Amino acid sequence: MTAEVNDPRLSIAAGGSASFRPLLEWLARRAEPVAIGLVAILIGLALFSLFILAVGKSPVTLFQLMYTGGFGSWFSIQNSLSRAAPLLLTALCVALPARLGLVIIGAEGAVVLGGVAAAASAMPFIGVVPPIMLFVFMGVAAMVVGGIWIGFAGFLRHYRGVNETISSLLLAYIAIALMNQFVEGLLRDPASLNKPSTKPLPKDYMLGQIPGMDVHWGLVIGVVACILSWVLIEITSFGFAARIAGGNVRAAQIQGLPVGKLIVGFTAIAGGFAGLAGMIEVAAVQGSANASLAAGYGYTGILVAFLARHNPLAIIPVAILLGGISASGGLIQRRMGLPDATVLVLQGTLFIVILFCETFYGRFKIFNPDLWKRS
């Protein structure tokens, strides 16, 4: 009976106590993305090591530094967590539309405009309302603007047939131009000479640190957003409908699902999260809106979402991992004399290998209980 089953453990379970079988089936299905993901990361790291060897440096030293700089001490862990906060939100901006089959890559646009909206909406209320109210105003303004921005790409996709990948990226370029225009024109603080910025938030109106940690509240907001997104997709009927539409648009339409509303709604929520990332950058890190908002969080978020296979809960560890990698960039630059783009090369390599490894899904019998021999 074990002829078709490759793994001896499975044959024992399949032939033995039947009560273990559902558990094993559940484990096997859950294990597939984890196993393939880990193998992909290992292949990516191996290729990257070859590259580092080719430029005459030691990959071992590099990975050690990467660990030290990202997770080696409490200080570096806090640094990684701070960097992970915006990635959680920008990754959601990619992952939520992806559940509907859309590839949105313009989160950067929602981040910068969200930041500008947050800074602009704060101005009239500083000193008028308590800080917590101000954060609510800023957050709402950022989410509305970000939501409109990415929701527009979703709208164009459904109602005009415009490819959302290209339109969202064009919108990101337009958003950066708009941000520059606002920051250097209408909203510019005359006191900001070298680096045009909006008027800085007073110290007591800054989004502070989580008690006991040197990490700002953005991390908590990001984690909560991921959990809410998971609930939205996996538990609510809205998310269920979205998953059906993502699997097969025509089938969803035949079922009478409001595909257009789903697409616009999901892209708007996604953009809202990215906008919130911009608000956090302004309220917790920069203190004002300026060109530093376009720091590439939107683009790294794409990688995080694909690595997490668009699962909002998986985004949390992946974002922390990538936050750690980017946190170690400075250390690698100083200690090894490698350019700051080293991290980008690693990210690009991992990204390509992970997408390539999609081809392995469904190829291994061990992960597919339907192919196991029934006892």
Partner 1 sequence: MEDTGIGLWGVPLAIFAGAIRVSTPFIFVSLGETITERSGRINLGLEGTLVFGAMTAYAVAVMTGSPTLGVLAAMATGAIFGTIHGWICKWPKVNDIAIGIAMMQFGLGLAFFLGKSFIQPVAPKLPSIPLGGWSAVPQVQAALNINVLFFIGAALALFLWWAFRNTRIGLTLRVVGDSTDAARAMGISPDRVRLLATAAGGSLAAIGGAYLSLYYPGSWNEGISSGQGLMAVALVIFARWNPIGCFLAALLFGGAGALGPALQSVGVTQGYYLFYAAPYVLTLIILIATSSPTRSLAGAPGALSLTK
Provide CB contacts within 8 A for 199, sequence distance 6+: 119, 123, 187, 189, 191, 288
Among 125, 217, 238, 351, binds partner 1 (CB under 8 A): 351
Does 240 help bind partner 1 (rule: CB under 8 A)? no
Element (H, E) at 145: helix 131-155
Element (H, E) at 342: helix 342-356
82 φ, ψ (degrees, to nearest 5)? -60, -40
Say whether 125 sits in a helix, a strand or coil: helix
Q: How far is the CB of 361 from partner 1 (least distance, A)?
A: 6
Question: Could you please report the per-residue DSSP string of 264-285?
Answer: HHHHHHHHHHHHHHHHHIIIII
Q: How far is the CB of 316 from partner 1 (least distance, A)?
A: 22
Q: How far is the CB of 2 from partner 1 (least distance, A)?
A: 29
| Residues 179 and 115 sit within 8 Å (Cβ to Cβ) | yes
Is the torsion defined by CA of 99, 104, 106, 109 positive or negative?
negative
Which C-beta is closer to partner 1: that of 75 or that of 361? 361
Taking alpha carbons only, the member of 265, 296, 283, 308 closest to residue 109 is: 296
Residue list 304-323, contact with partner 1 (CB under 8 A): 306
Say whether 245 sits in a helix, a strand or coil: helix
Return the range that interacts with partner 1 (CB under 8 A); candidates 16-24, 67-75, 314-322, 339-347.
339-347
Side-chain half-sphere CA neighbours of 56 within 13 A: 1
Does 64 help bind partner 1 (rule: CB under 8 A)? no
Does 163 help bind partner 1 (rule: CB under 8 A)? yes
**CA 63 to each of CA 73, 79, 215, 218: distance values in angstroms, whole numbers, following the listed order:** 15, 17, 24, 28
Among 7, 25, 184, 189, binds partner 1 (CB under 8 A): 184
Number of helices and strands in the chain (H, E): 15, 0
Which C-beta is closer to partner 1: that of 79 or that of 349? 349
Q: How far is the CB of 152 from partner 1 (least distance, A)?
A: 10
Q: How many residues bind partner 1 (CB under 8 A)?
A: 48
Does 331 help bind partner 1 (rule: CB under 8 A)? no
Does 167 help bind partner 1 (rule: CB under 8 A)? yes
Among 89, 116, 169, 263, binds partner 1 (CB under 8 A): 169
Question: Could you please report the per-residue DSSP string of 34-73?
Answer: HHHHHHHHHHHHHHHHHHHHHTT--HHHHHHHHHHHHHSS
Return the range that interacts with partner 1 (CB under 8 A); candidates 32-40, 119-127, 159-167, 235-243.
159-167
Return the structure tokens found at 161.
């047939």
Which C-beta is closer to partner 1: that of 13 or that of 305? 305
Q: How far is the CB of 328 from partner 1 (least distance, A)?
A: 15
Does 299 help bind partner 1 (rule: CB under 8 A)? yes
Which C-beta is closer to partner 1: that of 228 or that of 336? 336
Which C-beta is closer to partner 1: that of 81 or that of 343? 343
- Which positions lie near partner 1, rule CB under 8 A? 103, 105, 156, 158-163, 165-167, 169-171, 173-174, 177-178, 180-181, 184-185, 299, 302-303, 306, 338-349, 351-352, 354-356, 358-359, 361-362
